[in-house]
Amino acid sequence: MSTTTSQARIIVVEDEITVALSIRQSLQLMGYTVPELAASGAEAIDKIRRHAPDLVLMDIGLPGKMDGIEAARQINRRFGTPVIFITGHTDPTTFQRAKKTIPAGYIPKPFTEQELFTAVELALTRPSPGQNHVAAKITANGTTTEKPDRFRTMIEDIPALVCRFLADGTLTYVNAAYCAYFNKSRIDLIGSNFLRYAPKVDQQRVRRQVEALTPDAPVGNFVHQVVTPTHEVRWLQWTCQAIFDDSLNDREYQAVGSDITERKQAEANLLLSDQILQQMPSAIIVTDLSGKIQRWTGKARDIFGYSASEAVGRPISFIHLPQSDIDSTERILAKIKETGEFFGEVTGITKSGKTVPIEASAKPIFDKFGRPLVLICTLRDITFRKKNEQALEESEERFRLAFENANIGVWLIDLEGRLLRANNRMCQILGYNRDELERLNVNDVTHPQDVDLPLEFVEGSLAGKTDHITFEKRYIHKQGYVVWANASTSLVRDSFGQPLYFISHVQDITRQKLIETERERLISQLETKNTELERMTYTISHDLKSPLITIQGFLTLLEKDAANNASERFEQNIKFIRAAAKKMKQLVDDLLEISRIGRLPSLRETIPLSEMIREAISMVAGSINVRAAKVYVSHDMPTVVGDRARLSQVFQNLIDNAVKFMGTEPNPTIKIGGRIEGNFAVCYVKDNGIGIDPRYHHRIFNLFDRLDTDTEGSGVGLALAKRVVELHGGQIWVESAGAGQGSIFWVKLPLTATNPDLP
Ligand code: ADP
């Protein structure tokens, strides 16, 4: 701005001191003098009276009874000083009132320095109100007839586009900036239509707007597009003033314009970005660094219920719960300062007072020097998600409780057999805590002879052919013992049908199994007992009967001999009767012995076998000597634990039998030895006697079963030995190749005490 109507003195009436100071600074920079600022109508009138300025810039909204319009009216009446209104958004009634004061111009807020300068210059160069509205005639070469040259020079030089045109649009004057803008000479332009570069629709509209200007409202603003000589479409904004002649019929227009293409583009971009943001599912809120809202877009209105005009300017804290410490604005701002961003959940509060769960993120935007300018906050209503989460949590919790508290073991096994999750009962069944168990594979706790899941089922279920399977299997408790279980397993798939894991319900049936085994043992014991009883009945009826018949027969003989007084066979017969009675007693004693053996409590003592066998040999030394048998006992016999008297009885019996069933062997030899095998002592009594046909190996251990009835005996000895050995948790068996091949009787006894009652 090289030339101005300099030295013009302007009073600025504006109650907002920062705005007033800024206008004053701009005006001073343009070369004007600002003798005073005024903050109210009354102050303005007083200062105008004292300084008699050339122009007054008047804010309409002023404090006190007198607003800007009323002040202008009084100024007009008392001093005739031209007044330019600085207006914000003015409602039609106010505008009508303002118009009546015939102001020298309007500057809409916000304005640029260029707009301020143009408005001030136009006001200073036009006739003041009260004077006649006589247009300053401008000739084709641009000189004014009535105005001094200094104004022409000023208008020539300002960068704004200035023109004058007649009612039909014919240009009568253009300034240098106008020529430069359209890249045409003044000769080319003057005489052409001022709307020649505007599109048709704009031409009609602008023409109507221009025609609508009246002496009462001679100033108007309008905007239109132009197509420049370089075929660019640009936007021009004009402030146009109609200048009427005395008759008010003929008129000319003077217009000052500027290119607002950039502003329009910025507006369009803003509109576009706003429209894009509207599509976002979140509220997008821009705040200054203290959290004061500057932009309110996206779904902000939908979520919080406030319009942009209600929200802009307020602190962002007004949309979230004030009492919450966690989501206080201070904390969020502190967090951003500390880490450069904030991400978290806050409780929002809507216009209607409803609380809304919000997922918020906030980040600063920086200028090119790295200084934070504003904060961009993205807020998402997560009510729906929260509800879903809550519902899911509740159903999870229900499932978890059912899972945890089930009285049956439940676990989830992945497709590789790894244990994913086990409930309390499952941990109890196997003796592991959850952490231990969930680190194992199902095979680690499965009995080696059982499979974890039958392969057919795994393959069948993965192929979608089998639903579930129930089977009995054995697990190994952490303490090493067997746990019997009834397992029911199914494959779980995800919503797409993909196999996820197996779920197994496991019922501990160890107790039932024990009971079952015990029952089977008892049944078999009972069966054995029954067989023995049958045999006993037979023996009683047969073996006891035969001595009785003998006794009866000889008693008859004795009777006869007594009647005949024949005494020569008497002694002989008595001998037979006694022998038969002895036999009967032996049988009855054996029966008693066998019936006692199962009931006697077993004593447990440490027994070195060599020692005990020596005792046994001494007990049967008589028969050994009679048969002149040689007995060899190995030195290193093991030591066992058991009932000494009973075990001694077993070995006596075996040695006695070895002598008894030696047959005609000229060198009767008995060898006794033993060794340790695992937890057992395995001993043998070997003879070179008559041997036993392998067909009868099993039978000889039965009660009263005898192969050789010629030899003295009752058939109780081996049955008794078997029972004693088994009661010790051991076994007895015989090996013999057959008749004349000798026999070996084997006795296997545990080295330490066991409970033979357990399976
Ligand atoms: P007993 O000796 O009273 O006949 P055991 O129960 O001791 O009854 O023996 C059953 C049967 O087994 C004997 O009758 C005999 O036939 C056979 N037996 C036992 N020991 C031997 C042996 N060392 N050699 C051949 N046979 C034997």
* DSSP E strand stretches across 299-418: 342-349, 355-366, 372-381, 409-414
pLDDT band, residue 126 (cuts 50/70/90): low
Helix %, strand %, coil % of the chain (to 5): 40, 25, 35
List all residues 6 or more positions away from 653 whose beta carbon is below 8 Å from its beta carbon.
Answer: 717, 718, 720, 721
8 A C-beta contact, residue 243 and residue 214:
no
| Protein residue with its CA nearest to atom 8 in ligand 1 | 715
Element (H, E) at 174: strand 171-174
Q: How far is the CA of 333 from the centre of ligand 1 (A)?
A: 103
Q: Could you read off the pLDDT of 701-757 as tens digits, one per residue? A: 887 677 777 767 777 889 889 988 988 889 999 999 988 899 999 999 998 755 444
Q: How far is the CA of 745 from the centre of ligand 1 (A)?
A: 11
Q: How far is the CA of 701 from the centre of ligand 1 (A)?
A: 9
Q: Helix or strand or coil: residue 625?
A: helix
Report d(CA 237, CA 202) in Å as an integer: 12
Q: Which pLDDT belongs to residue 47?
A: 92
| Protein residue with its CA nearest to atom 2 in ligand 1 | 713
8 A C-beta contact, residue 287 and residue 280:
no
Q: Could you read off the pLDDT of 541-560 as tens digits, one per residue? A: 766 777 788 888 888 888 98
Tell me the two tokens of residue 294. Answer: 């500057």
Q: How far is the CA of 379 from the centre of ligand 1 (A)?
A: 100
| Protein residue with its CA nearest to atom 14 in ligand 1 | 706
| Amino acid identity for residue 647 in this structure | L
* Nearest by Cα to 640 from 603, 596, 585: 603
Report d(CA 753, CA 725) in Å as an integer: 12
> What is the average pLDDT score of the chain?
84
| Protein residue with its CA nearest to atom 20 in ligand 1 | 657
pLDDT band, residue 26 (cuts 50/70/90): confident
* Nearest by Cα to 724 from 607, 621, 619: 607
Dihedral sign of CA atoms 425, 426, 428, 434 in order: negative
8 A C-beta contact, residue 32 and residue 8:
yes
Q: How far is the CA of 624 from the centre of ligand 1 (A)?
A: 16
- Beta strand 219-227 pairing with 233-244: antiparallel
Q: What angle do CA 626, 629, 630 make, to 5 degrees?
A: 145
| Protein residue with its CA nearest to atom 16 in ligand 1 | 707
Among the ranges 92-101, 569-578, 635-644, 667-676, which has the highest mean pLDDT value?
667-676
The mean per-residue pLDDT over the stretch 301-330 comes to: 81
For residue 687, give the ligand 1 atom closest to its CA.
23
Of 623, 698, 700, which is best to mutate to test ligand 1, by the most ligand atoms within 8 angstroms of its C-beta? 700
CA dihedral of residues 143, 148, 152, 153 (deg, nearest 10)? 120
Concatenated DSSP letters for 33-101? B---EESSHHHHHHHHHHH--SEEEEESS-SSS--HHHHHHHHHHHT---EEEEESS--HHHHHHHHHT
Q: How far is the CA of 594 from the centre of ligand 1 (A)?
A: 16
Q: Which amino acids bring their CB within 6 angstroms of ligand 1?
A: 653, 657-658, 661, 687, 689-690, 692, 700, 706-708, 713-719, 743
Residue 602 is given by DSSP the state P
Among the ranges 136-145, 305-314, 458-467, which has the highest mean pLDDT value?
305-314
Q: How far is the CA of 657 from the centre of ligand 1 (A)?
A: 6
Tell me the two tokens of residue 608. Answer: 């070195």
| Region class of 654: left (phi > 0), else alpha (psi between -120 and 50), else beta | alpha
| Protein residue with its CA nearest to atom 21 in ligand 1 | 657
Q: How far is the CA of 700 from the centre of ligand 1 (A)?
A: 6
pLDDT at residue 139 greater than cutoff 50: no
Which residues make beta-bridge pairs with 284?
297, 378
8 A C-beta contact, residue 348 and residue 303:
yes
pLDDT band, residue 186 (cuts 50/70/90): confident
| Region class of 306: left (phi > 0), else alpha (psi between -120 and 50), else beta | beta
8 A C-beta contact, residue 647 and residue 738:
no
Report d(CA 596, CA 646) in Å as an integer: 12
Read off φ and ψ for residue 101, nearest 5 degrees. Answer: -80, 0
Q: How far is the CA of 650 from the centre of ligand 1 (A)?
A: 13
| Amino acid identity for residue 342 in this structure | F
| Protein residue with its CA nearest to atom 12 in ligand 1 | 700
Of 597, 671, 707, 716, which is best to mutate to test ligand 1, by the most ligand atoms within 8 angstroms of its C-beta? 707
Of 536, 586, 623, 657, which is best to mutate to test ligand 1, by the most ligand atoms within 8 angstroms of its C-beta? 657
Tell me the two tokens of residue 567. Answer: 């005494």
For residue 653, give the ligand 1 atom closest to its CA.
7
The mean per-residue pLDDT over the stretch 440-466 comes to: 84
Of 536, 539, 662, 706, which is best to mutate to test ligand 1, by the most ligand atoms within 8 angstroms of its C-beta? 706
* Nearest by Cα to 295 from 279, 280, 283: 283
The label of the residue with tokens 């300018």 reads: 373
Residue positions counted in the chain: 759
**In 101-258, alpha helices (H):** 113-125, 149-157, 176-182, 186-189, 200-211
For residue 705, give the ligand 1 atom closest to its CA.
10
Q: How far is the CA of 206 from the centre of ligand 1 (A)?
A: 140
For residue 696, with 0-12 CB atoms within 10 Å meaning exposed, 13-18 middle and 19 or more buried, which class applies?
Answer: middle
Q: Helix or strand or coil: residue 607?
A: strand
Element (H, E) at 467: none
pLDDT at residue 131 greater than cutoff 60: no
Encode 242-251: b = buried (16+ Cβ within 10 Å), e = exposed: bbbeeeeeeb
Report d(CA 166, CA 174) in Å as an integer: 12
Mean pLDDT is lowest, of 38-52, 107-121, 239-253, 683-697, for 239-253
Which residues make beta-bridge pairs with 686?
671, 744
pLDDT at residue 130 greater than cutoff 60: no
Q: How far is the CA of 583 from the centre of ligand 1 (A)?
A: 18
8 A C-beta contact, residue 251 and residue 349:
no
Q: How far is the CA of 675 from the centre of ligand 1 (A)?
A: 25
Read off φ and ψ for residue 27, nearest 5 degrees. Answer: -65, -40
If one compares 590 and 686, the residue with the highest pLDDT of the two is 686
| Protein residue with its CA nearest to atom 3 in ligand 1 | 713
* Nearest by Cα to 246 from 397, 380, 135: 135
pLDDT at residue 537 greater than cutoff 80: no
* Nearest by Cα to 53 from 24, 82, 85: 82
Cα atoms in the 13 Å half-sphere on the side-chain side of 565: 0
For residue 707, give the ligand 1 atom closest to its CA.
16
Mean pLDDT is lowest, of 2-11, 131-140, 214-223, 350-359, for 131-140
Q: Which pLDDT belongs to residue 543?
A: 66
Q: What is the largest CA-CA distance in the chain?
A: 202
List all residues 6 or more positions away from 272 whose beta carbon is below 8 Å from its beta carbon.
Answer: none
For residue 658, give the ligand 1 atom closest to its CA.
23
Tell me the two tokens of residue 243. Answer: 């200048």
Q: Which pLDDT belongs to residue 219?
A: 87
The mean per-residue pLDDT over the stretch 211-240 comes to: 88
For residue 23, with 0-12 CB atoms within 10 Å meaning exposed, 13-18 middle and 19 or more buried, which class applies?
Answer: buried
Which residues make beta-bridge pairs with 163?
174, 255
Mean pLDDT is lowest, of 23-27, 226-230, 606-610, for 226-230
| Protein residue with its CA nearest to atom 7 in ligand 1 | 717
Q: How far is the CA of 715 from the centre of ligand 1 (A)?
A: 7
Q: How far is the CA of 738 from the centre of ligand 1 (A)?
A: 14
The rounded percent of the chain whose pLDDT value lies above 90 is 34
